[in-house]
Structure 1
Amino acid sequence: MAASLPALLADAQHLAATILLGEHGRKRYGTGDEFWQYRGAEAGDSLRAIDWRRSARADGLFVRQTEWKAAQAVMIGVDDGRSMTYAGAKSRPSKLRRAQTLAMALAILAVRGGERVGLTRLAEPPRGGEAQLMRLATALMDDHEGGEYGAPVPQVLPAGSRAVLLSDFLGDPAGVEKALAQAADRGVKGALVQVLDPDEESFPFDGRTVFESMSGALRFETLKAGGLRAAYLKRLAARKDQLRQMAARAGWRYYCHHTSDAAEPALLWLYRALEKGSS
């Protein structure tokens, strides 16, 4: 774990650096630090509120207003099931490694944007600061026994927060549906990011093939793998449509990412999706 941690952080920091870090503020007067506008002084304004330097350039008095900004919580869930360790080629990262990298890059953007971030698998509440990033990276790289397919951790998300679930979503969808329903009840908006290897998307297998789960518990042999392609692709399309519908009912968004693709577009989509979900 210690050997992999620096590489994960380096990949995530490089990925995060490609995204123009925006702000999650709303354009209205409030208690933020970022300047918004000047307005004319009104009865009731204190002398301390008046911007004397700006007022000296005009005939009236002006008050400096800052933009309203409140720290929000971003909760991230990364599927650690055995199926996520699959990689169809040595030149591609595993689904788990890509999900971990996207999760950490998103956490870096959130923390540096002044927000709190946490993992759904941790009991600790979301926090801000650089130290939190190290805690999250360590937790993501923690090697513990998972099932064949992962499921969202049944944790109560902070009301009004935003959340991201990264998984291949190839297991029982009942856990995902339950998690989304609970999130919707608490006003939590977010996104489902389905991470797939391109082999899982195209099913390039033909002839005699032995299919085995990552744990080795499931095994299936066929002499005509190509004959299974149509049925497999139909079921995969049905699963994607089911995920889209579940996300839509909860007010969430859905995105499918392939490990053969660059990670930057996925992170940019995710970052923008969370910004829209916060408005």
Structure 2
Amino acid sequence: MSNLLDPKVLLAIKDLPLAAKTAVDGFMAGMHASRVKGAGLEFSQYRSYQPGDDLRWLDWKMYARSDRYYIRESEMETSIDISFLIDASNSMLHTEDGISKIDYARYLAASLAYLAHLQGDAAGLAVLHHGRLFTMTARREAQHMARLYYQLEQIQPGGTFTAPAQYRDLFSGPHNRQLLVFITDYYEQSGEITALLQTLSALGHEILVFHLLGEKERTGDFRGYDAVEDLETGQRLELTGIADTDYPSKLEQYNDQLRTQLLQRRIYYRQLLLQEPLDAALRDFLNQRNKMRK
């Protein structure tokens, strides 16, 4: 396992695109080359260039022979749209070992977006915070990727999870099937996150959920604290005299139920710890992306 995938190492790199490239390069170096395939591996036919087509898929040898621009059709067909949905509600400010959930989320999303771009896919972004929704339509251009990284850097978590009234852009976007990568701490008060995912799944999208947890949060290690505070509601729970040794097993049971519930909707679920390297997430993303190509 490469230390280039360690979240602390990545957080020390202040340049987000460079950190994403570092993570993906380290990940790919440890994989067999055939596992990481770019677009257009199986050629089918040429077609004439149309304004708006990605210039990377131009066949320059055909241009040299015919003095006309042609696109390799198979390369366009194997590309897909991938949108990254970031939960940036206030609870994502939870921090352990110097790593906050929102920082882990932004570096994870940047790495996955870089890998998607490397494979010729269009990457989009949706940020849910302060009760509102910010969206960027999926595109393939390098300039668009620079804007996507910038928006990830600018995320300011706050408020509660975005209300359904703001979901219009998610439901009325491109009607083609997409891969949606949702990064969240899955803190919900009345099933609002699950309801959103079920609706998106019903629209035919493939969904990959990364559920972020801290190791102390997972084990209930509250040593040194007199109380804990809900980051979204402000409610405080006094810990003095409380010794719930069943906390870890209860949380595990809840997460198992959540996983089962999502899988029944064909929504892929993966739990990630803040202290965990990114290789597992990158591998899951790559496998899910390749499933959509078939």
TM exceeding 0.5: yes
Unmatched 5+ residue regions in structure 1? 34-48, 50-64
Q: 1:22 aligns with which of 23, 33, 36?
A: 36
Q: Go from structure 1 to structure 2 and tell me whether the alpha carbon gap of 1:273 and 1:71 turns closer, same or farther (over 3 Å shift).
A: closer
Cα distance in 1 between the residues matched to 2:13 and 2:163: 24
CA contact (8 A) 2:92 2:157 kept: no
Q: Find out whether 1:10 has 2:18 as its counterpart.
A: yes
Per the alignment, residue 165 of structure 1 pairs with 182
CA contact (8 A) 1:207 1:223 kept: no
Alignment root-mean-square deviation, CA: 3.2
Per the alignment, residue 246 of structure 1 pairs with 261
Q: 1:146 aligns with which of 158, 164, 179?
A: 158
Q: Secondary structure at the match of 1:126?
A: strand
Q: Report the CA distance between 1:7 and its aligned residue.
A: 2.9
Q: Go from structure 1 to structure 2 and tell me whether the alpha carbon gap of 1:79 and 1:133 turns closer, same or farther (over 3 Å shift).
A: same
- Range moving further from structure 2, 93-102 or 145-154: 145-154
Per the alignment, residue 187 of structure 1 pairs with 204
Q: Go from structure 1 to structure 2 and tell me whether the alpha carbon gap of 1:150 and 1:266 turns closer, same or farther (over 3 Å shift).
A: farther
Q: Report the CA distance between 1:204 and its aligned residue.
A: 1.5
Cα distance in 2 between the residues matched to 1:8 and 1:246: 34
Q: Go from structure 1 to structure 2 and tell me whether the alpha carbon gap of 1:278 and 1:175 turns closer, same or farther (over 3 Å shift).
A: farther
The percentage of counterpart residues that share the same residue type is 19
Q: Go from structure 1 to structure 2 and tell me whether the alpha carbon gap of 1:162 and 1:207 turns closer, same or farther (over 3 Å shift).
A: closer
TM-score normalised to structure 2 length: 0.71
Q: Deviations over 1:174-216 (max 9, x none)?
A: 2222222222222211211011110111112358721123368
Q: Secondary structure at the match of 2:78?
A: coil
CA contact (8 A) 2:88 2:155 kept: no
Cα distance in 1 between the residues matched to 2:73 and 2:225: 67
Per the alignment, residue 127 of structure 1 pairs with 139
Cα distance in 2 between the residues matched to 1:265 and 1:207: 32
Equivalences for residues 62-77 of structure 1 within 5 A: 69-77=77-85
Q: Secondary structure at the match of 1:228?
A: coil
Q: Go from structure 1 to structure 2 and tell me whether the alpha carbon gap of 1:207 and 1:111 turns closer, same or farther (over 3 Å shift).
A: closer
Q: Find out whether 1:116 has 2:122 as its counterpart.
A: yes
CA contact (8 A) 1:167 1:195 kept: yes
Q: Report the CA distance between 1:16 and its aligned residue.
A: 1.6
Per the alignment, residue 273 of structure 2 pairs with 258
CA contact (8 A) 1:244 1:254 kept: yes
Q: Go from structure 1 to structure 2 and tell me whether the alpha carbon gap of 1:120 and 1:145 turns closer, same or farther (over 3 Å shift).
A: closer
Cα distance in 1 between the residues matched to 2:163 and 2:263: 19
The one-letter code of the counterpart of 1:167 is T
Cα distance in 2 between the residues matched to 1:145 and 1:100: 11
Q: Deviations over 1:86-135 (max 9, x none)?
A: 11223xx1111111111011111111211101012344421112212221
Q: Secondary structure at the match of 2:23?
A: helix
Cα distance in 2 between the residues matched to 1:123 and 1:202: 35
Q: Secondary structure at the match of 2:96?
A: coil
Per the alignment, residue 239 of structure 2 pairs with 222
Q: Go from structure 1 to structure 2 and tell me whether the alpha carbon gap of 1:265 and 1:180 turns closer, same or farther (over 3 Å shift).
A: same
The one-letter code of the counterpart of 1:81 is S
Report which of the two structures shows the higher radius of gyration computed on alpha carbons: 1
Equivalences for residues 66-105 of structure 1 within 5 A: 69-90=77-98, 93-105=99-111
Kindly indicate which of the two structures has a greater share of residues assigned to helix.
Answer: 2
Q: 1:136 aligns with which of 138, 145, 148?
A: 148
Cα distance in 2 between the residues matched to 1:127 and 1:234: 43
Q: Secondary structure at the match of 2:27?
A: coil
Unmatched 5+ residue regions in structure 2? 1-11, 29-34, 48-61, 63-71, 128-133
Q: Secondary structure at the match of 2:212?
A: strand
- Range moving further from structure 2, 151-160 or 244-253: 151-160
TM-score normalised to structure 1 length: 0.74
Cα distance in 2 between the residues matched to 1:180 and 1:253: 11
